[in-house]
Amino acid sequence: MEAVANNGHYFSVHKARTELSLTQTELEKAIAEAFQWFKVYRYV
């Protein structure tokens, strides 16, 4: 589990993996895809 903003909240990818069969995306790919989305919608 990971701490979020040091305020006592935690999250886990367990539910996404088990119930939705989602896999984690490599960090570099996730950043590139997010940046592309921002460019398409003219946020950058």
List the chain domain ranges. 2-40
- CA angle at 24 for the pair 19 and 29, rounded to the nearest 5°: 145
pLDDT at 34: 97
Helix (H) or strand (E) holding 31: helix 27-40
Per residue of the chain (44 residues), what is the pLDDT tens digit? 555 555 776 778 888 899 999 988 999 999 999 999 999 999 99
pLDDT at 11: 74
Q: What is the pTM of this model?
A: 0.56
pLDDT at 2: 54
